[in-house]
Structure 1
């Protein structure tokens, strides 16, 4: 366990640059004194650990230090290959495919059969059921923009159906619940925004280039913005037993509780927008909004409009 912790500390310091001893202690659930003993052990092993004093101090490594690739085990390589192949199910990339070949070639021939078997122990398929060509075309253009620090332009239709034209600095592609998003700095809004790829049309590279802004992607800034308490509304939903399995898929088994009368109750929170109402209506008659009342009333009005539309169509 200590050896694994020592290697993990080195990897963290390489990736993060400088960390506080307390942060390391909290991460590995050990004392600060243990962390300092680990640092001494690393120093004795010839790893150039540097301790910085002062308010902005911490623990780091000498600039330019890197791990030898021989520290990667066959299991590590298999995990990397599996991850790369999983991404490629939704976003093919020649450079990524070549990297898989390179990593596979590192494994000795005598171990190759076991290695290939370990890379197929499970498959994560991110591909869509329909229209993969159109999505791939957008991904390729965005990839090129990110690689070359080149702005992209596109027409965008938001959740309310309003269309606008955007020029953005593409920073990161995000795959969330089988849906691709672009996290980019929007010139028109002068801030970072999340754009859903299926709502983007006529995606092209712009002539101007941009300088990538410093953002901490490990904190997933798009998630923080979406889940802000002031951006969400709490709801109480009642589900028919027929929809219990669907509710459990969305909200978790622990959040779908029997009410004692044959129905199931969930306490959930989402941003209130057109997607939310479409989501609720998607359950049909198997869900009832108990609270808040204004969402209940809005869903009722939408359902009445749907009924009226079909009645009118039948009469004509």
Structure 2
């Protein structure tokens, strides 16, 4: 059976191996590389052979007592078309325009290197367009302060190593210590989340990375489940909060808001029924209604929940509470 986890781990380790030995001042012998990558001697030479087959010649420098990449070996610059280069820059700008986002420095560095390999004529065309095409990817947290945490998580994910974390839970307003097996880092709705198996609760959970107060890499390994997928885990959730069961929701929108809602796709299961007078009924199946409730409330009197009755009652109670505040 094809194991995606093993292939990804091998690819990552081979890239890491190149990173370790390509630096001008790098000094790593075989044993040190094996320890850093957590591989055995025969695996080291297997990776070395694979890289050499790809044109990256690795040799042992007796004077430095370290493995190095032959100086005349360089990765060929990508042969990008103008539209491909523009797409790369435009998509990268979503991170480069916000230094608070994760991997800001890495994206900035890699984009500069790729751009430098492009023909001068292409660079001249791209330069004035860099600031004119922009995709927003807004962060609600300054992740520059969490750089060490998500870097350690990134390494732990690739090495499939358990981590110890001290985590603040907003729901309980308490900080607890946990051992987790990190599966995936997912940036969603302005926040970076860690999806991991929590050994304290014996289930897979989501953790906001900015709420991880301390982190340590353990020596314990885990195996990434072959049958795990982020899409399957999130199910029909509206955003990041998962519920125990799916619920059919129907909302009637009217006025200008109805036209706005009709133009957008908010959920994979979404269906829209058009009514006389311009109103619409939007139907979808989701789990975890708290985020749905907040979304509906922002449309005020232009949105009316038809189903389920429980959500309709919750919104009534919320409106009563607001009336008490604003009386």
- Residues 169 and 175 of structure 2 are in contact (CA less than 8 Å); yes or no, is this contact kept in structure 1? yes
1:239 Cα shift?
Answer: 1.1
d(CA) in 1 for partners of 2:113 and 2:325? 59
Which of residues 149, 156, 160 in structure 2 aligns to 1:141?
A: 149
d(CA) in 1 for partners of 2:8 and 2:87? 19
CA distance change for structure 1 residues 145 and 226 in 2, over 3 Å: closer, same or farther? closer
The alignment status of 1:185 with 2:191, answered yes or no, reads: no
Pairing 1:150-229 to 2, within 5 Å after superposition: 150-158=163-171, 163=174, 165-167=176-178, 168-197=180-209, 200-201=210-211, 203-206=213-216, 208-211=218-221, 213-215=223-225, 221-228=229-236
The alignment status of 1:74 with 2:80, answered yes or no, reads: yes
- Residues 247 and 287 of structure 2 are in contact (CA less than 8 Å); yes or no, is this contact kept in structure 1? yes
Report what 1:258 is aligned to. 274
Report what 1:107 is aligned to. 118
Tell me whether 233-242 or 182-191 shows the greater mean CA deviation. Answer: 182-191
d(CA) in 2 for partners of 1:84 and 1:140? 22
Report what 2:19 is aligned to. none
Q: Helix, strand or coil: the match of 2:194?
A: strand
- Residues 252 and 303 of structure 2 are in contact (CA less than 8 Å); yes or no, is this contact kept in structure 1? yes
Show CA shifts across 1:67-99 (max 9, x none).
Answer: 995483123555445444433433344333222
d(CA) in 2 for partners of 1:275 and 1:166? 27
Q: Helix, strand or coil: the match of 2:184?
A: strand
Report what 2:105 is aligned to. 94
The alignment status of 1:244 with 2:244, answered yes or no, reads: no
Q: Paired residues, what number?
A: 244
1:181 Cα shift?
Answer: 1.9
Over aligned residues, Cα RMSD in angstroms?
3.9
The alignment status of 1:310 with 2:325, answered yes or no, reads: yes
d(CA) in 2 for partners of 1:250 and 1:243? 14
Report what 1:41 is aligned to. none
Show CA shifts across 1:34-66 (max 9, x none).
Answer: xxxxxxxxxxxxxxxxxxxxxxxxxxxx96665
- Residues 194 and 222 of structure 1 are in contact (CA less than 8 Å); yes or no, is this contact kept in structure 2? no
1:188 Cα shift?
Answer: 1.9
* TM-score using structure 1 length: 0.61
- Residues 95 and 107 of structure 2 are in contact (CA less than 8 Å); yes or no, is this contact kept in structure 1? no
Q: Which has the higher helix share?
A: 1
d(CA) in 1 for partners of 2:250 and 2:271? 11
CA distance change for structure 1 residues 241 and 126 in 2, over 3 Å: closer, same or farther? same
Q: Helix, strand or coil: the match of 2:315?
A: helix
Structure 1: gaps spanning 5 or more residues: 1-13, 18-61
Tell me whether 297-306 or 284-293 shows the greater mean CA deviation. Answer: 297-306
* TM-score using structure 2 length: 0.59
Report what 1:232 is aligned to. 246
Q: Helix, strand or coil: the match of 1:235?
A: strand
